[in-house]
Chain A
């Protein structure tokens, strides 16, 4: 007997896609990320990143990593609330752009923010058949 579970990353768990760019030029966001291509040892530039928060409706938002594999702070000061968040990285699209196949169609990192005032850095290290993520600072 098969049972239905939550759909891919949007509707049933009601992930809210967060606003991140309402503070242009602000360097001190509460959530940052960095994507590194470990096969080349270089930043993964131009990779699409989306942030969503569990169980709140909201408008769509996304960022794209720059030449250094980074993007604008994903949560501006005051926006981070305690809760469960998901970072979605469009990794297959990135690898295809470089002419590589990869194992994962995308990478999602689901993490918990307990202290909204804390600066969080959630980097992602990628290679075609592996990835690593950790909580940095």
Chain B
């Protein structure tokens, strides 16, 4: 699978994987293209042109009662059997990231809310591009995989 065909702007993403793992508690979400890990998250600092690998990330799933439940325990999401259909929220603590660089950012945090796997098991790549006064997010969603 050639990442260049999918997200040309981020063609160096796979080189940054070793840097993503050491601080981010959700590092197991960072494996691209591995059929065992259906959710891949990438956060980029567009000011410095670097991975924003120490942005705290939390993943929530909407419960039956309509509240957000924090998903702990990475094994829950490392297999497609665990990544069930539902409403998910990725919450990026972008303010802490910018403050650690000595900047006062505009956004309190960045949320990405999405429905997953409602029509078959798919692979999701969520990319978030940050600057102190803006952010952008894109999703690349595969066809249902067997």
Interface string of A18-34 (1 = CB under 8 A from B): 00000000000000000
Q: Is the interface of A mostly helix, strand, loop or mixed?
A: strand
B113 touches A105 (CB 8 A): yes
A117 in the interface (beta carbon within 8 A): no
A132 to B63, CA, bound (A): 28
Classify chain A's interface size.
20 to 34
Q: Which residue of B lies closest to A6 (CB)?
A: B68
Render B111-136 as a binary contact track against A, CB cut-off 8 A, 1 for contact.
Answer: 11111000000000000000101111
On chain A, the residues within 8 Å of B137 by CB distance are 130-132
Q: Are A130 and B133 in contact (CB under 8 A)?
A: no
- Residues of chain B contacted by A82 (CB below 8 angstroms): none
B13 at the interface (CB under 8 A from A): no
Is A41 an interface residue, CB under 8 A from the partner? no
| Given contact pairs A2-B71, A7-B66, A133 touches B134 in the complex (Cβ within 8 A) | yes
B106 within 8 Å of A by Cβ? Answer: yes
Which residues of B are found within 8 Å of A108, using beta-carbon distances?
111, 113
Assess A105 versus B87: contact at CB under 8 Å? Given A2-B71, A7-B66: yes
Q: Is the CB of A5 within 8 A of B136?
A: no
Interface positions, chain A 1-20, Cβ under 8 Å from B, are 1-8, 12
Tell which of B66, B72, B139 touches A103, judged by Cβ atoms closer than 8 Å: B139
Q: Identify which of B66, B70, B106 contacts A5 (C-beta below 8 A).
A: B70
A134 to B132, CA, bound (A): 9
Q: Give the complex CA separation of A109 and B113 in angstroms.
A: 11
CB–CB A105/B70 < 8 A: no
Q: Assess the B107–A103 pair: CB atoms within 8 A.
A: no
B108 engages A111 (CB within 8 Å): yes
A111 touches B114 (CB 8 A): no
Rounded to whole Å, the gap between the CB of B111 and the closest CB of chain A is: 5
Q: Are A5 and B69 in contact (CB under 8 A)?
A: yes
B67 contacts the other chain (Cβ, under 8 Å)? yes
Q: Is residue B138 within 8 Å, beta carbon to beta carbon, of the partner chain?
A: yes
How far does the Cβ of A136 sit from chain B's closest Cβ, in whole Å?
9
Do B134 and A132 touch across chains, with their CB atoms under 8 A apart?
yes
A-B contact pairs, 26 of them (CB 8 A): A1-B73, A2-B71, A2-B72, A3-B69, A3-B72, A5-B69, A6-B68, A8-B66, A84-B108, A105-B87, A107-B113, A109-B107, A110-B110, A111-B106, A112-B95, A112-B105, A112-B108, A130-B136, A130-B138, A131-B136, A131-B137, A133-B136, A134-B131, A134-B134, A135-B106, A135-B133
- Which 4 pairs from chain A and chain B are nearest by CB? A134-B134, A132-B136, A130-B138, A7-B67
B residues bordering A, Cβ < 8 Å? 60, 62-63, 66-73, 87, 95, 104-115, 131, 133-141
